Amino acid sequence: MRPSSRRLTGIVLSLCAFSIVTLTGCSDTSRPGSSNRGSGSAPGAVTIENAFIVPTFVPGHCAIQQGTGGRLRFTVSNARPAGQVRLDSIYTEAVADSNILVGVDIPAKSSIGFGQPSAAQVDQAGAVPAVRLDVIDPGLRPGMSADMTFRFDQADDVTMAVPVEACPTQDR
């Protein structure tokens, strides 16, 4: 190998090593994992799917309105062959009122969507409203996640990272 080829190879390897070290710190979250909605829910008799936080955005812009709340949309599935479970509350430090009371029964072998179309009719409209969140943590941004614990009366708690919606279509 000629001296210029060795030098070029050394420069390329140095740049690759520098890039790897530099880009390793370019993340908004401290732990690796999928940002899929509900990806942190372990499979079991009761699961949470399609969970996401929809903050209040500035009208006409894709920027979160500070000092306002938002909605939490998700689906709870009860795969038990018999017996309903009750979603009592949701705990998170991402909103000012960290313990959100819910109080909805999920029948056996069914799913209920909160703020989404529901497989089982719960009220006249066929769906449960999204869970209202009060003031959201100002450090939470679109694309980031917040840890949430869904607490049930006759099932284990489900703790998962719930992502913030990037720029949803606003309700009218």
Q: What is the pLDDT of residue 126?
A: 41
Q: What is the pLDDT of residue 59?
A: 74
What is the Cα Rg of the chain in Å? 22
- Classify residue 15 as exposed, middle or buried by CB count within 10 Å of its CB (0-12, 13-18, 19+): exposed
Of the chain, the percentage scoring pLDDT greater than 90 comes to 13
Show the domains of the chain with their CATH numbers.
46-163 (2.60.40.1890)
- Lowest mean per-residue pLDDT among 54-58, 116-120, 140-144: 116-120
Distances (CA, A) of 120 to 14, 73, 98, 113, 147: 59, 16, 28, 9, 27
Whether residue 157 is predicted with pLDDT greater than 70 in this model: the reply is yes
Mean pLDDT for 83-110 is 86
pTM over 0.75: no
Whether residue 159 is predicted with pLDDT greater than 60 in this model: the reply is yes
